[in-house]
Structure 1
Amino acid sequence: MALRVRDAVRGVWREAAKFGAIGALAFVVDNGGYNLLVFGLPGGAEGGVMRADPVPASVVATSAAALFSWAGNRYWTYRHRHRENMTQELTLFLFVNAVGVAITAGTVFASRHLLGLESMASDNAARVFGWVLATLFRFVTYRRYVFVAP
């Protein structure tokens, strides 16, 4: 019994480490994309192409990161657990990530519109907070509903 528990804990830690690696790369895609869209290239005076639309920019950046995350999690983290019906799996994944997008965009909305903060630092702090909440939500739901053992 103790060996089964230990093996299960090891399995979850390995899974969490892979999930974390994919998440870290998706974080770079998400935040790098957001900062490029809203603030432009470093040193650029004009800002990004979506400088006046930070909430939609958050949705675009997080959506791109979600697609990257699906591929990484499906083919690496949960390669032994993914569904044979890819359409059903992708639909569930996209639903879970739509909730994650709403969580991340919601923190930017709250920072900008409820707290009145408009700096790069406050946007990024709000996004990191949203990212943490969304990541916890995703890990639990991926394991339980999206990538299930065959």
Structure 2
Amino acid sequence: MRILRELLTKHRELLRFAVVGGISFLITTAITYVLKFTVLRTHPVTALIVGVLVATIFSYVANREWSFRTRGGRERAHEAALFFLISGIALGLNALPQWVSRYVLDLQEPHLTLLGQEVADFVSGMILGTLLGTLFRWWAFKKWVFPTEGARLETVSGSQSGDPDITGRKAA
């Protein structure tokens, strides 16, 4: 039990990133399939892109305030711009496998049944695409968006109690 606790503590940031990613995956999946079976029936890749975009907005807030809450090193506007630039690249990586599945391998109706098409879309877009995008995001966020470990203290409100403020100085 102690070893598991140490492992979880050591990889807390990764686990939090995975939780945010899991929630983002659910957001992406829900929005993608609602759009795909309603207003974007003939544009499944566009439906996936919209789902990923909405999940990315959630992801920025959750990753900044929870997963990487002690990391920083950049001005917020610069940090946000890098986050969304990297997320845009990851969005392309996320959509690429489904685009290949649909338009290069032609895994769609009439060459497949509707069920076969949906399984191909799910595996290529939701599984492979999400995996590619997530691996890229994890690496890029730590390298460029939130590069400095310990740049932000865990609490900002501590300045009232004499605890260090966000700059690390004690309040008077």
TM-score computed with the length of structure 1 as normaliser: 0.84
Q: Which has the higher helix share?
A: 1
Distance 1:33 1:126 in 2: 17
How many residues are aligned here? 135
Alignment of 1:23-62 (within 5 A): 23-39=21-37, 48-62=38-52
* Aligned partner of residue 32 in structure 2, secondary structure: helix
In structure 1, the residue matched to 2:86 is: 96
Q: CA deviation at 1:63?
A: 0.6
In structure 1, the residue matched to 2:100 is: 110
Output the aligned Cα RMSD: 1.7
Q: CA deviation at 1:51?
A: 0.8
2:14 pairs, out of 13, 16, 29, with 16
Dislocated runs of 4+, deviation >3 Å: none
TM-score computed with the length of structure 2 as normaliser: 0.74
Paired letter, 1:81: R
Q: CA deviation at 1:121?
A: 1.1
Paired letter, 2:62: G
- Tell me the percent identity: 28
State the structure with more CA Rg.
Answer: 2
Unpaired stretches in structure 2, ≥5 consecutive residues: 1-5, 109-116, 152-172
Q: CA deviation at 1:106?
A: 1.1
Q: CA deviation at 1:90?
A: 0.6
Unpaired stretches in structure 1, ≥5 consecutive residues: 1-6, 40-47
In structure 1, the residue matched to 2:136 is: 137
